[in-house]
A = this chain, B = another copy of it.
Amino acid sequence: MASDAVEVTGQEGLAAALASVAAEVESTLDDVLPAPEGAEARLAEAMRYATLGGGKRLRAFLVVESAALFRVDRRCAARVAAAVEMLHAYSLVHDDLPAMDDDDLRRGKPSTHRAFDEPTAILAGDALQARAFEVLAEPDTHSNPEARCELVAALGHASGARGMAGGQMIDMLAEGAVLTVDQIVRLQALKTGRLLQFSAEAGAILGRAPAPQRLLLAAYGRDFGAAFQIADDLLDATGTTAETGKTAGKDAAAGKATLVGVLGEERARAQAQALATQAAAHLDGFGERAHLLRALAHYAVSRRQ
């Protein structure tokens, strides 16, 4: 399916590069996740279940490709990519909980609290978050501790009350309410945008890039995130459970506020295209080295899963 979508956009090499990064981050995750040992083994099992073997690894790809712009050691980039994927995995585990979105399916298999139980899922999410920050702070992630601190602080901000968690709070409060376009845009910027923005920015932090380049990558990540979210909502509205691996139509059923719901399918699709084009344009100054990141922006809005 991924290769179909990539062919549609005419972006050669993207599917292979995505698969390559996914394999690389899978291996790094296997290294940095705790082994299921001791009386607490069930916790490590749940952390591994929630994190390994699934997803497109878009956040990892953003980290690895943005880091490649600055010729960062690929093992360092893979560790940051693994940290972001652990952070992302924890957010999915907690979002799926009965008290939150109450979802039984994730990536085509039972969500973590269904495969294990609620307390284990809560703790696995908590421990994944802790491990993500620990990995960023460890010396193997970068020889310069200033870079490691910047990564920790930026990820903390992106995932906290003024980022992902704040966005999820708005999302929970907004269920059944009618939001304006501006309110939905901000909700999604916090809920999914900040972490994608961090992922793109992380390469510049690892590469000790000057501020203008860091800002351009942040802008790319922000616009890519907005485009990606609309595309995700379009898939939820029009896709099937078999295609997406998630319960189809759940946003509408839950009364979730999405731009697709407010703007309609056609205008939402046009908006996603415009944002993807704008995201790619931020990378003009990086030349040919950024062609995979540009291709990713277009792929995000043409994908079918």
- Bound-state CA distance A100–B232 (Å) is 33
Any B CB within 8 A of the CB of A178: no
- Bound-state CA distance A149–B148 (Å) is 7
Near B by CB (< 8 A), chain A positions 44-80 give: 44, 47
Nearest CB in chain B to that of A179: its residue: B39
Q: Are A149 and B153 neighbours in the complex by a CB distance under 8 Å?
A: no
Q: Are A122 and B134 neighbours in the complex by a CB distance under 8 Å?
A: no
**Interface of chain A, main secondary structure:** helix
Q: Are B97 and A187 neighbours in the complex by a CB distance under 8 Å?
A: no
Any B CB within 8 A of the CB of A38: yes
Q: Are A134 and B120 neighbours in the complex by a CB distance under 8 Å?
A: no
Any B CB within 8 A of the CB of A211: no
Q: Are A38 and B166 neighbours in the complex by a CB distance under 8 Å?
A: yes
A186 to B: closest C-beta gap in Å: 7
A156 to B: closest C-beta gap in Å: 3
Q: Are A134 and B148 neighbours in the complex by a CB distance under 8 Å?
A: no
Across-interface contacts of A43 in B (CB, < 8 A): 161, 165-166, 169
Number of copies: 2
Q: Are B100 and A119 neighbours in the complex by a CB distance under 8 Å?
A: yes
Nearest CB in chain B to that of A172: its residue: B119
Question: Number of A interface residues, CB 8 Å?
Answer: 62
Nearest CB in chain B to that of A133: its residue: B133
Q: Are B145 and A118 neighbours in the complex by a CB distance under 8 Å?
A: no
Q: Are A127 and B160 neighbours in the complex by a CB distance under 8 Å?
A: yes
Near B by CB (< 8 A), chain A positions 90-135 give: 90-91, 94, 97, 99-100, 117-120, 122-123, 125-127, 129-131, 133-135
Say yes or no: A136-B161 contact (C-beta < 8 A), given A99-B118, A173-B42: no
Any B CB within 8 A of the CB of A301: no
Q: Are A136 and B152 neighbours in the complex by a CB distance under 8 Å?
A: yes
Any B CB within 8 A of the CB of A15: no
Say yes or no: A94-B120 contact (C-beta < 8 A), given A39-B187, A152-B137, A166-B40: no
Q: Are A40 and B190 neighbours in the complex by a CB distance under 8 Å?
A: yes
Across-interface contacts of A129 in B (CB, < 8 A): 126, 129-130
Q: Are B39 and A172 neighbours in the complex by a CB distance under 8 Å?
A: no
- Bound-state CA distance A155–B133 (Å) is 9
